[in-house]
Chains A and B, each alone.
Chain A
């Protein structure tokens, strides 16, 4: 049981043994949290989104097909959860939204001021990117996904993903440099 792949576990969840979602939660909730946290910079929102992903898995468990890549499947759900949350947030009054760009989320005493400022600038630069580019950068840099998996997730050709990542990095750099100059 401990060696079962996530795909095998999910097939059991689909067939009614929903308790098998626990080991899937153990394997994925940290990664998913990191995905959402880097996108939103908000811990509470990220916790809620992870919860939403597992709720959706239960809700749509009958649709799971073992022939696909489980990681791609779960990240597709995660992306939809995030996009739906953004749509819902955009309908809320601005004052009710969490800070879009927290100056320094969860600072630790081990980070020095300069590092925190750099991260803060990076967050602001990321916020200035179009949603799809920001998401692509987080997926490609942190989630341990192959470009092939990202292409499958986004439903676009592999070469397109590679070129888009390249452009997104360049645009992030541009935004980061602009913000650095403003600060000076």
Chain B
């Protein structure tokens, strides 16, 4: 007959948590109780077997992804108050719906210029940077029913949240239609002329700078963007890396 009173002690015994006195008491008991000795032997064997279960090694990407997430968060935190309530319709809806800090962060990132020095050299960690550029016809978005916009906004929020959570979103910004200009040089003289981006024509309205393992993953990420469901088009470009002096 096994002594059930010891059921509370085995774990502490195996993990070395028993006090010296408790351990001595238990060992004294074990010397005279065959049933408990057998119980302990059986438990110890399994405990040791379990101890051989490998713990694995985190991937080299893990730190890069964490850094990417934290950098994005820090930038967003600094800018959040400025960007709240601004931005295009889809982002505005998402921002209204957002309760999470993460979305404020993403809203905060809008309009913030990329600082390459802050970002880890992705290519060194087996990740590549991709630029996703969104083309939209602004007028077409205005025709979409509010409920559908709201629903798409929610999915958009989830999509961006997920990218941030995984440390794959380095930057996101909206590009204003107003104030666009075309620059060239004629006979050595700068020629700057306003560029009228009509709201009934396709124009670049956003970009995301993301990290992905390869082209296939970048396409998968872009494919997940709910803005595609509203008729927007995404152009995907891989960034070349080069050594800077």
CB within 8 Å of B: which residues of A? 16, 18-19, 21-22, 25, 29-30, 33-34, 37-38, 43-44, 46-48, 50-52, 54-55, 58-59, 105-106, 115, 118-119, 122-123, 126, 137, 140-142, 146-147, 159, 161-163, 165-166, 169-170, 172-173, 176
Kindly identify which residue among A19, A30, A162, A166 contacts B70, using a CB–CB cutoff of 8 Å.
A19
Contact yes or no, A47 B61, CB < 8 A: yes
Q: Please indicate the chain B residues that have their CB under 8 angstroms from the CB of A46 in the complex.
A: 56, 58
Cross-chain pairs A/B with CB under 8 angstroms, 18 sampled: A18-B73, A18-B77, A29-B62, A33-B55, A33-B62, A51-B69, A55-B165, A115-B52, A118-B52, A122-B49, A142-B51, A142-B53, A142-B55, A162-B12, A169-B46, A169-B47, A170-B46, A172-B50
**Cα distance A165–B14 in the bound complex, in angstroms:** 11
Whether the Cβ atoms of B70 and A47 lie closer than 8 Å is no
The answer on a CB contact under 8 Å between B49 and A176 is: yes
Give the distance to chain A from B53, nearest Cβ to Cβ, in Å.
Answer: 5
B43 and A166: CB pair below 8 A? yes
> B58, A47: Cβ atoms under 8 Å?
yes
Residue B66 is within 8 A (CB to CB) of chain A in the complex: yes
Q: Does B102 contact A (CB under 8 A)?
A: yes
Contact between B62 and A118, CB atoms less than 8 A apart? no
Contact of B8 among A52, A122, A162 (CB under 8 A): A162
Given contacts A58-B73, A165-B11, A173-B46, contact A25 B53 (CB under 8 A): no
Report yes or no: B11 in contact with A105, Cβ–Cβ below 8 A: no
Q: Is B10 an interface residue (CB 8 A)?
A: yes
With beta carbons under 8 angstroms apart, the residue of B9, B10, B56, B69 that contacts A54 is B69
Please report the C-alpha to C-alpha distance between residue A170 and residue B51 in the assembled complex, in whole angstroms. Answer: 15
Q: In angstroms, how far is the closest chain B Cβ from the Cβ of A28?
A: 11
Per-residue interface assignment for chain B, residues 10 to 33, with 1 indicating a CB less than 8 Å from any chain A CB and 0 otherwise? 111001010000000000000000
Query: Which residues on the B side are within 8 Å of A105 (C-beta)?
Result: 54, 56
Q: B58 contacts which of A16, A22, A29 (Cβ < 8 Å)?
A: A29
Q: How many angstroms between the C-alpha atoms of A162 and B17 in the bound complex?
A: 11
- B166 interface hit (Cβ, 8 Å): yes
Evaluate whether A140 and B42 lie within 8 angstroms (CB atoms) in the complex, with A47-B58, A50-B58 already known: no
Q: How far is the CA of A176 from the CA of B52 in the complex (A)?
A: 14
A43 touches B56 (CB 8 A): yes
Which chain A residue shows the least CB distance to B161?
A55
- Other A-B pairs, 15, CB within 8 Å; known A51-B62, A55-B69: A18-B74, A33-B57, A38-B53, A38-B55, A47-B65, A51-B69, A51-B166, A105-B54, A126-B53, A137-B50, A141-B51, A166-B8, A166-B10, A170-B43, A176-B46
A58 to B167, CA, bound (A): 13
Q: Please indicate the chain B residues that have their CB under 8 angstroms from the CB of A166 in the complex.
A: 7-8, 10-11, 43
What separation, in Å, do the CA atoms of A16 and B15 have in the docked complex? 38
B59 pairs with A25, CB closer than 8 A = no
CB distance from B95 to the nearest CB of A (A): 16
Residue pair B11, A33 in contact (C-beta under 8 Å): no
B17 contacts which of A33, A122, A126, A146 (Cβ < 8 Å)? A146
Q: Are A58 and B101 in contact (CB under 8 A)?
A: yes
CA distance A114 to B42 in the complex (A): 21
CB of B152 within 8 A of chain A? Answer: no
Contact across chains for B165 and A34 when beta carbons are under 8 A apart: no
